[in-house]
Amino acid sequence: MPWVRIQPSGTEFEVFDGEAVAEAAWRQGHGWPTQCWGQADCMSCFTRILDGELCALPAEQDELDAVSLKMSPQLRSNHLIRLGCRLRCVGDGLVLEKQGFRPADRTGEDTADPAGPPPPSPGAEARAEPGRT
């Protein structure tokens, strides 16, 4: 299972095959900025690839369309800028910069997003970890 590292926090987490990086972050309790929860609408999830570009699958048409329509010319001209809710990866070592990313609290301190938890993404049950109920 691929892992990614998010800078500047240095947080690493795993991403299921076929899962977008932002979806993986939300599933594991991390805070990844969003307003549309993965609908390729808000652009809040955009991230910049710092390293491991070859691990990133190419953008699909829905990401290209959203970026073309909604992102500033400066950002959309940079091929290393991707939507976290669409960015999928293969292999280990994708390193991303994401301002506003908040690592999941592993000490029990309450860092819940005031907007509440994300809704389940389509197909989330099919991607559930084996052995988990």
Size of the site for ligand FES (CB under 6 A): 15
Question: Are residues 14 and 92 in contact, defined by beta-carbon separation less than 8 angstroms?
Answer: no
Q: Are 73 and 7 in contact (CB under 8 A)?
A: no
Q: Decide if residue 43 touches ligand FES (CB under 6 A).
A: yes
β-pairing verdict for 3-7 and 94-97: parallel
Residue with CB nearest ligand FES? 85
Least distance in angstroms from the C-beta of 24 to ligand FES = 13
- Provide the mask over 66-85, with x wherever binding to ligand FES is found by CB under 6 A and - wherever it is not: -----------------xxx
**C-alpha–C-alpha distance, residues 38 and 20, integer Å:** 9
Site for ligand FES, rule CB under 6 A: 22, 34-36, 38-45, 83-85
